[in-house]
Amino acid sequence: MARRLRIESWFGNGGHIQIFDVVSSKLLLEEEIFQGQRVHGIVPGPDQRIAVFGGRMVSCFKLVSATENCKSASLQLCERLSWWMSDWVLALEWLEGCVGGVEMALVTSSNTVYLWESGLERKRVPCRERCTFARYSACLSGKRWSDLVVLAGTVFREIVVWVIGEGEDVGDRPGVIFSVTYDPDSGRIFTTSDDRSVRVWCGAPNTQQESQDWQGAHITLQYTMFGHLARVWRSVFLPENSIASVGEDSQVCLWGPDRTLSNRWKAHQSGGIWAIDYSPLLNLLATGGRDGGISVWPLCPGSSAPVTSITPSSHPCRVGLSACGDIVVMTIAGELGVCPTWLQPVSHLPDTCLSLVMSPCRSKVALSFLSGRVIIHAVSEVLVRELNAVLVAGRIFSLHWLSSTSLLTCAAGGKLEMWNVTDGAGVRLQQLELPLCRQRWLTAALQQAAMLVVGDRMGGVHVYHLDLDAPDILQVTLDPPRRKGSSGPGSIYLKQGFWGVI
């Protein structure tokens, strides 16, 4: 049996690092690296070694498979070395050629490059030019100390290309430079800045040239691209001379080889995007945002567009994901269809749609309306209508699937009704009522056998013991701790005989 190759992705979250399996999205390891300091950079090295830096802290270690005694993760860290630098670390690079140890070069915001071997400082070289690296951006090129080149952005509108022992002012540039990226294959340099621009510089040595002469390089500004609405934090280069950039405006911008903005989308709940990386092997972009979230964006082969291209005629207002990966989209114009192939949309919805809810098996979608109507579609390549009926007199405040064949509606006055929705009709199974409260409607619901657990808008949790043969229904009201500003339970789950509320 062939063994699947595991491809890992690394992320810094506060002072922790997290390792995920890209294919399965499984968390392989979470480890605290720094206390009281965020992770700013992760650099993979030889022999499964990893270096992590943040602020003035540096830590390197080796990644190995977990032992049998470690049940909580499939990976673990060993041979760990940690130390403090005299100033903030801007960039780090593993070096080759060390016998019996590990070497790395580090650039700090004090205009100094350090050579470290096995956790001990071996060399330090200050820059001749007494400029400031802006305390924002730098990158290193070269795998040996003798070939090392530093590219740094300054607060004085300059890019400094510094061969160890030499300094060179490359050019004028408006705004503070937040990141500098060098592509050795094409010899291009990418910079991002607080003036909302992404700039591309040409003339640097590339791998096609026999001589890597940085002193004789004539680096000039090739073009400038504007498209972000706020400061631009990072950029990465993509195949076919394309670029991806992210910034404070929470946008991922994709730039084509003709310098045009080929695509862009917002992510991370409008909190700003701090980090971005690209995998040529998988053709995936990974981004990390201020909201603490991690997103992976697949790109079409040979293009700069997301694989999932949603092109309805008006803006989507509600979406659902089916079991086969199709995206059900409802637009503000009342259209309903399936993406990524936006087929001929279902005829305009009859009323103001209040909710779109996927069934537990994610093969059906239910919609509730202001008039009390409920419409259910089976989801495949097209939407097949299974139910269209008015179940409630008046507005449906919330709609929840209890199983693949039953629904729970909440109407005015806390009126709850359980429905069987098979055979194209809605048959009422049970009528319940929420306790008196100021905001009397549901936020979450779950049924297990003859027990129904619901959460209301005020944060209360109510348990109903159901017996279809008995006229009375036993109700138990729980009073979990309420958080200030809470909108009620978002979900209820059952695990190993215990109820959980989120």
Question: Which amino acid does the sequence have at 6?
Answer: R
Q: Tell me how crowded residue 407 is: count the other CB atoms within 10 A of its CB.
A: 26
Phi then psi for residue 63, to 5 deg, are: -100, 125
386 and 363 assigned to the same domain: yes
- Return d(Cα 488, Cα 461) in angstroms, integer: 9
293 and 330 assigned to the same domain: no
Q: Tell me how crowded residue 151 is: count the other CB atoms within 10 A of its CB.
A: 25
Which of 65, 83, 101 is a domain's end point?
Answer: 83
Domain of residue 405, CATH code? 2.130.10.10
410 and 320 assigned to the same domain: yes
335 and 358 assigned to the same domain: yes
| Total domains, the chain | 5
Task: Give the 3-state secondary structure percentages of the chain, helix then strand then coil, rounded to 5.
Answer: 0, 50, 45
For the record, the structure tokens of 342 come out as 């936006």
For the record, the structure tokens of 293 come out as 């979230």
41 and 151 assigned to the same domain: no
Which of 83, 117, 146 is a domain's end point?
Answer: 83
C-alpha distances (whole Å) from 307 to each of 83, 90, 260, 296, 339 are 43, 34, 19, 11, 11
- Residue-wise burial string across 310-336, b where 16 or more C-beta atoms lie within 10 A, e elsewhere: bebeeebebebebeeebbbbbbeebbb
Model pTM?
Answer: 0.48
- Return d(Cα 202, Cα 221) in angstroms, integer: 6
- Return d(Cα 421, Cα 81) in angstroms, integer: 61
Which residue do the tokens 């005829």 mark? 347
pLDDT at position 167: 42
Question: Which amino acid does the sequence have at 132?
Answer: T
Closest by CA position to 489, among listed 498, 475, 499 = 499
168 and 261 assigned to the same domain: no
**DSSP code, position 392:** S
pLDDT at position 270: 67
For the record, the structure tokens of 419 come out as 């429905």
For the record, the structure tokens of 89 come out as 């670390």
Long-range pairs for 489-498 at CB < 8 Å and ≥24 separation? 489/443, 489/444, 489/455, 489/459, 489/461, 490/443, 490/444, 491/444, 492/444, 492/445, 492/446, 492/453, 492/454, 492/455, 492/461, 493/446, 494/446, 494/448
Query: What would you report as the CA-atom Rg of the chain, rounded to the nearest whole angstrom?
Result: 28
Q: Please tell me the total number of residues recorded for the chain in this structure.
A: 502
**DSSP code, position 300:** -
Residues of the chain with pLDDT under 70: 1-7, 23-24, 66-74, 97-101, 128-136, 155-157, 165-175, 206-217, 270, 292, 300-317, 325, 339-350, 381, 468-502
Tens digits of residue pLDDT in 171-209: 444 567 788 888 877 778 888 888 888 888 887 776 666
Q: Tell me how crowded residue 288 is: count the other CB atoms within 10 A of its CB.
A: 20
Domain of residue 249, CATH code? 2.40.10
Q: Tell me how crowded residue 208 is: count the other CB atoms within 10 A of its CB.
A: 9
356 and 415 assigned to the same domain: yes
pLDDT at position 354: 83
C-alpha distances (whole Å) from 229 to each of 23, 265, 288 are 33, 12, 18
Q: How far is CA 209 from the centre of its chain?
A: 38
Given a contact cutoff of 8 angstroms between Cβ atoms, the answer to whether 190 and 199 are in contact is: yes
Q: Tell me how crowded residue 235 is: count the other CB atoms within 10 A of its CB.
A: 25
- Return d(Cα 402, Cα 160) in angstroms, integer: 62
189 and 134 assigned to the same domain: yes
User: What domain range includes position 483?
Assistant: 435-502
- Return d(Cα 221, Cα 211) in angstroms, integer: 22
For the record, the structure tokens of 251 come out as 């946008």
pLDDT at position 356: 87
345 cis-preceded (ω within 30 degrees of 0):
no
134 and 98 assigned to the same domain: yes
43 and 103 assigned to the same domain: no
Given a contact cutoff of 8 angstroms between Cβ atoms, the answer to whether 395 and 409 are in contact is: no
Given a contact cutoff of 8 angstroms between Cβ atoms, the answer to whether 273 and 288 are in contact is: yes
Given a contact cutoff of 8 angstroms between Cβ atoms, the answer to whether 138 and 164 are in contact is: no
- Return d(Cα 135, Cα 405) in angstroms, integer: 59
78 and 96 assigned to the same domain: no
Which of 418, 433, 448 is a domain's end point?
Answer: 433
337 and 463 assigned to the same domain: no
Q: Which residues, including other chains, have CB under 8 Å from residue 103's CB and lie 6 or more apart? A: 94, 95, 96, 97, 115, 116, 117, 122, 145
- Return d(Cα 428, Cα 369) in angstroms, integer: 18
